[in-house]
Chains A and B, each alone.
Chain A
């Protein structure tokens, strides 16, 4: 299969302009003035047809500039980008909508701005309206739309353009949850149809979820072009390195399973009996500083839980949750990927989800952890582990109880 996008030696230079008066501008006309800033430096990459690639990097790394160059919105200062197939760029949903025109008029105008003929738009019109769920409002002026309706119509136009290459810049972060799901489903459909997707984000979870490859940019240079996991590790290293924060997952060495041995194990709970095991938790690992040599976590240290789960047959609709209980079994903290708003990819074989606590705010003692894998509306429980794992926390004796609240004391 050929390349959908070929990026060759692309550099982009921006001039940082300072506010200048007309006189200064006229006097300096034709001469190079102002500081020069390279947003991209000799970027080379080829993106295969039908692949989904994430562009990641911190703010100012050049990822959006590269996407705009691929889209043809900006032109590179040197180098070329060759795209094969119709490109649709979702940089902003509803960009160019005219508030004074109706939804219908805007669909036609937006479609032709994006490069479609009137006839093509007319053919897709019903699909666009159906996708946007705006049947009743399509002849209303767009200025009366809510922001959600606006975004829905914008997305509907863009994805119904029948693009061969879809460029997405963080737009999936808008709209309500149901709409986001719908967008993600649509993106997956595009993947299945063999279209090429390039996806800019700094939400690493989305890259892991959707992409099969990730390109990491740092100060305009490509620093990694690899499988998402590898690329994300590189991205994390770069992200954490300058600030001195070390990502706990980059630590090598042993990890704690924290599993409670069978002699102490309680009989199966009701939820555990209900589990269908269509998706099964196969491993739980705890990570914390010096976990290879210590059987306890220091209160306030970073703490990470990796849950590995597996499905024999593909399961699409999955969320993963955990609960932390005190020694009496009372739930202290419970959350899941749905609450947090992280969508998990369908389970085909084995997947890992990582729960990360920047600092474990517990006082000294033993705590038990429960895990659950359910479908999105919690009607089906795939797997459930009720307090089968334990962590020991060591804290200085400055407080009693279970929660390490931050407090200072001084005489008033």
Chain B
């Protein structure tokens, strides 16, 4: 017989984290479910995930290489190297925010570690990210774009930090969204604004001079160091025809920035868990 389980008003944070950890298999199952349900009854299935960036590549190659020359060589590569990781972040946060409400039927009737629902949304976004990454890698080969090998080593860490940040926001927002359904719509709008605050379409160095106030402000955006690291590693060009594109920071500088974001994400994750823990006791009633 297993150890006694105590249901109380405020289970401790470690006990809840342990419970999430024990739900790993459920997490994998739910991620698999999200992916299966998304492409059920579609002939191309996962290919749809890859067609999206492929189309981006084609359109941006045509527009910016042939029609509107914007001074950024191989603009499609530049765009995709930042866009894919942003998509991971924004899709993860967006779908995690509504995860609890979307699974109301389950939450009301079955007991399980509820954090698993937003985490599964993040997990599904990660799988999509890797599918889209295949397209980017093919494009890198196709365009014969040399990557910056030293910086590529930072990418796994940057990816983990992105996932942590998305998970923290996802856990926090999905709990709040149960009580205040407007959160979901607010998040959609904020994500749009956040996208344009992040140097994905525009080039960081074209707006933020080294050492300027603009640069310091831009780095308050926790996604900026992650996107810059991806661009630095994969796009790898510092300058274009009409000036600087990316900052010429060292690997160590990028590492420090990414670690700082990681520390922020961890703190946010703890805050999110605490808030989630205070709210989850009534989810079954509020949904």
A interface residue numbers (CB < 8 A to B) = 14, 22, 25, 68-87, 89, 91-92, 95-96, 98, 100-101, 105, 108-109, 112-115, 117-118, 141, 164
Which of A78, A115, A118, A164 contacts B112 (CB under 8 A)? A115
Residues from chain B with Cβ under 8 Å of A14 in the complex: 282, 285
Question: Within the complex, which residue of B7, B112, B285 is in contact with A70, where a contact is CB–CB below 8 Å?
Answer: B7
Cα distance, A100 to B107, chains bound together (Å) = 19
Would A73 and B284 count as touching, CB distance under 8 A? Answer: yes
In the assembled complex, 15 residue pairs joining A and B whose CB atoms fall closer than 8 Å, in A order, are A70-B7, A73-B284, A75-B281, A76-B7, A76-B9, A91-B108, A91-B110, A92-B105, A95-B106, A95-B108, A100-B37, A101-B36, A109-B29, A112-B29, A118-B29
Q: Mark contacts of B1-31 with chain A using CB atoms, 8 A cut-off: 1 yes-contact digit, 0 otherwise.
A: 1111111110100000000000001100110
B106 close to A69 (CB less than 8 A): no
User: Which residues of B from 235 to 287 have beta carbons under 8 Å from A?
Assistant: 280-282, 284-285
B7 close to A95 (CB less than 8 A): no
Distance (whole angstroms) from the CB of B11 to the closest CB of chain A: 8
Closest Cβ of chain A to B279, distance in Å, is 10
Q: Chain A residues near B2 (CB, 8 Å)?
A: 84-86, 164
Contact of B110 among A76, A95, A105 (CB under 8 A): A95
Q: How far is the CB of B7 from chain A (nearest CB, A)?
A: 4
A100 to B36 alpha-carbon distance, docked (Å): 8
Known A-B contacts A25-B180, A98-B33, A118-B25; the reply to A82 vs B6 at CB < 8 A is yes
Q: Is the beta-carbon distance between A79 and B29 smaller than 8 angstroms?
A: no
Provided the pairs A74-B285, A95-B110 are in contact, do residues A109 and B5 lie with their beta carbons within 8 angstroms?
A: no
| Structural contact, A80 and B105, CB atoms closer than 8 A | no
CA distance A100 to B29 in the complex (A): 15
Residues of B in contact with A (beta carbons under 8 Å apart): 1-9, 11, 25-26, 29-30, 33, 36-37, 40-41, 103, 105-112, 180, 182, 280-282, 284-285
Q: Which residue of the partner chain A has the closest CB to B27?
A: A112
Number of A-B contacts (CB under 8 A): 114
Give the CA-CA distance A100 to B280 in the complex, in Å. Answer: 28
CA distance A76 to B182 in the complex (A): 27
Nearest CB of A to B177, in Å: 13
A22–B186 Cα gap in the complex (Å)? 11
- B108, A73: Cβ atoms closer than 8 Å: yes
A-B CB proximity, top 10 nearest: A75-B281, A95-B109, A72-B111, A96-B106, A81-B7, A80-B8, A92-B109, A112-B26, A91-B109, A100-B40
Interface residue from A85, A109, A117 paired with B33 (Cβ < 8 Å): A109
CA distance A5 to B169 in the complex (A): 36
Q: A100 vs B33: C-alpha distance in the bound complex, in angstroms?
A: 9
Pick from B7, B25, B29, B33 the residue with the most CB of A within 10 Å.
B7
Q: Which residues of B contact A92 (CB under 8 A)?
A: 105, 109
B105 with A72: CB separation less than 8 A: no
Q: Which residue of B lies closest to A91 (CB)?
A: B109
Q: How far is the CA of A89 from the CA of B110 in the complex (A)?
A: 7
CA distance A87 to B110 in the complex (A): 11
Closest residue to A106 on the B side, CB-wise? B33
Q: In the complex, are the beta carbons of A68 and B284 less than 8 A apart?
A: yes
| Chain B residues within 8 Å of A141, by CB | 40
Nearest chain A CB to B2's CB is how many angstroms away?
6
User: Nearest chain B CB to A232's CB is how many angstroms away?
Assistant: 27
Which residue of B5, B180, B182, B285 is within 8 Å of A72 (Cβ)?
A: B5
Give every chain A residue within 8 A of B7 (Cβ-Cβ). Answer: 69-70, 72, 75-76, 80-83
Task: Give the chain A neighbours of B284 by CB distance below 8 A.
Answer: 68, 73-74
Beyond A75-B281, A109-B29, 5 additional pairs, beta carbon < 8 A = A70-B7, A76-B7, A87-B111, A100-B37, A105-B33
- Smallest CB–CB gap between A379 and chain B, Å? 40
Decide: A84 and B33 in contact? CB cutoff 8 A: no
Residues of A within 8 A of B37 (CB): 98, 100-101
Which residues of chain B are near A85, meaning CB under 8 Å?
Answer: 1-2
Give complex CA distance A71, B284 in Å.
12
Report chain B residues within 8 Å CB of A84.
Answer: 1-5
CB A41 to nearest CB in B, in angstroms, measures: 15
- Assembly CA distance A98 to B29 (angstroms): 12
Whole-angstrom CA separation of A79 from B29 in the bound complex: 33
CB A59 to nearest CB in B, in angstroms, measures: 16
Contact A83 B29, beta carbon cutoff 8 Å: no
Cβ distance B280 to chain A, nearest Cβ, rounded Å: 7
Q: Chain B contacts of A73 at CB under 8 A? A: 107-111, 284
Q: Could you say which residues of chain B place their CB within 8 Å of the CB of A68?
A: 284
Q: Is B106 in contact with A82, judged by CB distance below 8 angstroms? A: no
A193 to chain B, nearest CB (A): 13
Contacts of B9 on A, CB cut-off 8 Å? 75-80
Q: How far is the CA of A93 from the CA of B179 in the complex (A)?
A: 26
Q: Which residues of B contact A74 (CB under 8 A)?
A: 281-282, 284-285
A3 to chain B, nearest CB (A): 9
Partner of B25, one of A70, A77, A89, A112: A112
Q: Which residue of B lies closest to A114 (CB)?
A: B110
Contact across chains for B4 and A101 when beta carbons are under 8 A apart: no
Residue of B nearest to A99 (CB): B37
Nearest CB in chain A: distance from B94 CB, A: 19
Is A82 within 8 A of B5, CB to CB? yes
B106 touches A113 (CB 8 A): yes
| Cα–Cα, bound, A96→B182 (Å) | 25
Q: How far is the CA of A396 from the CA of B3 in the complex (A)?
A: 69
- In the assembled complex, the CB of B113 is this many whole angstroms from the nearest CB of chain A, namely 10
CA distance A100 to B40 in the complex (A): 7
Q: Chain A residues near B41 (CB, 8 Å)?
A: 100
Residues of B within 8 A of A98 (CB): 33, 37
Known contacts A86-B2, A113-B26; A95 and B8 CB within 8 A of each other? no
Q: Which of B5, B108, B285 contacts A83 (CB 8 A)?
A: B5
For B281, the closest partner residue in chain A by CB is: A75
Residues of A within 8 A of B4 (CB): 82-84
Q: CA of A74 to CA of B9 in the docked complex: distance in angstroms? A: 9
Q: What's the nearest-Cβ distance from chain A to residue B176, in Å?
A: 11
Q: Known contacts A85-B1, A98-B37, A118-B25; decide if A76 and B8 are in contact (CB<8 Å).
A: yes
